[in-house]
Amino acid sequence: MTATIVTIGDEILIGQILDTNSQHISQLLNRAGITVAERTSIGDSAEQIVSTIDRALRQSQIVIITGGLGPTKDDITKHTLAAYFSSEMHYDEVEAHHIESLLAARGIEFNELNRGQAMVPDSCTVLHNAHGTAPGMWFERDDKVVVSLPGVPFEMRHLMEDEVMPRLSARFALRSIVHRTMITSGIAESILAARIAEWESALPASLKLAYLPAPNIVRLRLSAYDVEGESTRRIIEREFEKLYRIIPEHIVGFEQASVEELVHNTLIERGLTLAVAESCTGGNIASRFTAQAGASAYMLCGVVAYSNESKCRVLGVEAEAIAKYGAVSEEVAKQMAEGARRIAGADFAISTTGIAGPTGGSAEKPVGTVWIGIATPERCFATLRNCGTDRSQIVARATAYAISLLYEQVR
């Protein structure tokens, strides 16, 4: 069973917004055993919408479309779909009432444009959008399904989870897709590939191996498509056991889990707490942890000590240490981690201090220089990493390094 995902909107093509919808839809379809054949983003053009749906229906049984359902003139998806399915429009009283009460709660009058949102094609099943004003639509033709959802990520997600997935499961006999991921650390992709080459060549043909490198981490994913029963899972387990025996010292975790999820789970399991002191990563580490439901069990406090004064005032870093070694130094990284651990009363603390650029670098400490400090119940130390030359990359890498160093301490 395959699907094509189509996201509609000029704002995607000009790069004004990041298309996160496609990723979320891919995950949901995959979990239900539906292979995504292609994801495509097109503009608000009737001609392009029609030709893309034509093509999508040739290559897959399910087409999920998002975007272009707003109340304004640039949103043409609904009328294009009505024409595509040779359908008249009618006024849906239930949806109209829902839209009216949603707007009333926000003190907004129900006007002509909102009335247009309650118009739906006769040929579709309306998917109720409990969280927004644009209803979803479910069309069927020749045993194939075309679903249209609003582009607002939050509304799309609830419609996919609450309406679309249950209907797809009921409509089609779905097989499952199995992905399992092993996470390695401290070994470069090419060296890793050389070390496991023999194992890789001997893999059963039904399994597909992928290498997914990230700072300090390479994920190895084994995938099997169109799976029936439990035997594939056992085959993958067995292959991972063999792999483990080849590189035991480099295996840090399993499954889709990001390293912050691994830390999150470990801290909760072990009943430990965390504090974070960030300079160059600017709140990014704290937000990675707090994005996870349940983080309040261990996350006590984060300090984004951007100015030198706040490093001293809030974290208790010695002004002399900054004067003597500079704010980006082993000593200051250690004092930041210790300070965060102390003021929060936490078991573990991590800190970052570095030069995110584009300015502020020197010959001795170029842009990308980052010290990462770790304070544990037993000791405090700091590690130097060069995190690249580009601001966003430096922040991302420093964050990934810091979290993976923390993982080595807590696991």
Site residues for its own copies, window 299-318 (CB under 8 A)? 299-307, 309-310, 313-314
Determine, following the binding rule CB under 8 A, whether residue 104 of this chain makes contact with its own copies. no
Q: Report how far residue 76's alpha carbon sits from residue 78's, in angstroms, rounded to the nearest whole number.
A: 6
Determine, following the binding rule CB under 8 A, whether residue 223 of this chain makes contact with its own copies. yes
What's the min distance (Å) between Cβ of 317 and its own copies?
12
Measure CA 265 to chain center: 18
Which contiguous run of DSSP H or E holds residue 91? strand 89-91
Find, among 154, 125, 133, the residue nearest to 24 by Cα.
154
Coil, strand or helix: which one is 352? strand
Instruction: Rule CB under 8 A: choose which of 79, 157, 167, 175 binds its own copies.
Output: 157
Mark 335-374 with x for binding to its own copies (rule: CB under 8 A) and - for no binding: --------xxx----------xxxxx--------------
Q: Report how far residue 309's alpha carbon sits from residue 103's, in angstroms, rounded to the nearest whole number.
A: 47
Residue 305's φ and ψ, nearest 5 degrees, are: -90, 80
Judged by CB under 8 A, the chain residues 179 through 198 that form the site for its own copies are: 179, 181, 188-191, 193-194
What's the min distance (Å) between Cβ of 90 and its own copies?
20
Tell the residue number behind the tokens 């582009």, with chain if given: 151
- Contact between 211 and 220 (Cβ < 8 Å): yes
- Contact between 21 and 80 (Cβ < 8 Å): no
Q: Report how far residue 273's alpha carbon sits from residue 255's, in angstroms, rounded to the nearest whole number.
A: 24
Tell the residue number behind the tokens 């699907």, with chain if given: 3
Instruction: Rule CB under 8 A: choose which of 245, 293, 363, 379 binds its own copies.
Output: 293
The site that binds its own copies (CB under 8 A) totals a number of residues, namely 113
Mark 116-145 with x for binding to its own copies (rule: CB under 8 A) and - for no binding: ---------------x-x------------
Instruction: Rule CB under 8 A: choose which of 84, 138, 139, 289 binds its own copies.
Output: 289
Judged by CB under 8 A, the chain residues 59 through 88 that form the site for its own copies are: 70-74
Stretch of 77-85, 106-114, 227-235, 374-382 contacting its own copies, by CB under 8 A: 106-114
Please enumerate in sequence order all residues whose Cβ is within 8 A of that of 185, keeping only pairs 6 or more positions apart, or say none: 216, 217, 218, 250, 252, 404, 408
DSSP string for residues in 134-165: S-EEEEEETTEEEEEE-S-HHHHHHHIIIIIH
Determine, following the binding rule CB under 8 A, whether residue 319 of this chain makes contact with its own copies. no
What's the min distance (Å) between Cβ of 255 and its own copies?
11
Determine, following the binding rule CB under 8 A, whether residue 265 of this chain makes contact with its own copies. no
What's the min distance (Å) between Cβ of 123 and its own copies?
26
User: Which residue, 40 or 123, is less far from its own copies as judged by CB?
Assistant: 40
Question: Would you state the structure tokens that stand for residue 308, as one six-digit string?
Answer: 């030198």
User: Which residue, 60 or 379, is less far from its own copies as judged by CB?
Assistant: 60
